[in-house]
Amino acid sequence: MLTVSGLTIAFGATVAVRDVALTAAPGTVTGILGANGAGKTTTLLGILHRVPRRTGTVVLDGRDVTGHDTGALVRAGIALCPQNRRLFPNMSIADNLLLGAYGHGRAVRRERLARTYERFGWMRERADEPAGRLSGGQQQAVAIARALMSEPRLLLLDEPSSGLSPVAVQEIAGLLAEITADGTALLLVEQNVGLVRRLCSTAHILAHGRVTGAGPVSELLTDDTVSDAYLGTLT
């Protein structure tokens, strides 16, 4: 589904991500692990062309989409569920969801909203309620549902468990498992190793903007590379 190679992202003289390569397959969850500041979020934004890419290629379904702008990449089948959810708290649940299908006609937006309500019945019941009144877990579910409104084949998720209770994390894990069962590829940035262990088949370890390890999660999580990356001891 996705092949990224040689991705280097710089902000002026500061190189945040250097020569990153990764892949994501349909119907699987691929993890990106690393300490704060390792370059995980920047990598996701680089794939979506939201930050300046110095080098690198992005291939989606065998099609080189490197030079495409963010809107074209969304239309090609990539969506992002950002860190901290980024909902509009004073807008209704329904209006937040409809933003996920921005750029489509009214009929398409309403059709996709109806399908979203089939999966998330509680959102239909509370459609007119401001999103800011929801619990953290409910807001995360709305943020994921909003991303799904563009009907992506590849969903990028940035720290979906951040700030959530253990019960909410388990509910989000179940939702992500359902999404992959539908054939969507997930690229998951996550600090919660337990969630990665449950969902991800493979993962990439980032440290100081570089990939320092990659492979099956069962092998990576028993390797010193992971603890080194989280403790920041890699040089």
Domains of the chain by range and CATH?
A: 1-77+153-235 (3.40.50.300), 86-151 (no CATH)
Segment 198-226 shows an average pLDDT of 87
Listing DSSP states for 168-199 in one string gives: HHHHHHHHHHHHHHTT-EEEEE-S-HHHHHHH
Query: What pTM does this model have?
Result: 0.92
**Residue that wins the pLDDT comparison between 235 and 171:** 171
Q: Is the pLDDT of residue 213 over 70?
A: yes
For 99-134, write each residue's pLDDT tens digit: 999 988 999 999 999 999 999 999 999 999 999 999
Taking only the tens place, the pLDDT of each residue in 68-85 is 999 999 999 999 999 989
Rounded Cα distance, 215 and 208, in Å: 19
Residue whose structure tokens are 């994921």: 144
pLDDT band, residue 235 (cuts 50/70/90) = very low
Q: For residues 168 and 161, what is the distance between their CA atoms, to the nearest angstrom?
A: 8
Query: Mean pLDDT: which of 31-35, 93-97, 219-223 is highest?
Result: 93-97
